[in-house]
Amino acid sequence: MSTYLLTGQTLGFIADPFNTPLESAVDYRRYGGVLVRDGKIAAVGEADDLRRAHAGVPVTDYGDGLISAGF
């Protein structure tokens, strides 16, 4: 089982931005994280929270880089 954590700015959509005000449709985190397990997203949240909850997991820190879903 391969598990790793990506950290950086994260951007996700929690509603349709064409039908919802943008501020309500977007989940942006200045220092967020994406936990990947076996090639699938297992968790998304604040980077520090994910680091604590998954200590020992390899981390790739993208600094100010933006992590977002592929389209």
**pTM for the whole structure:** 0.87
pLDDT for the residue numbered 1 = 75
- CA separation for the pair 65, 58 (Å, rounded): 18
Tell me: the pLDDT tens digits for 2-61? 999 999 999 999 999 999 999 999 999 999 999 999 999 999 999 999 999 999 999 999
- CA separation for the pair 5, 52 (Å, rounded): 11
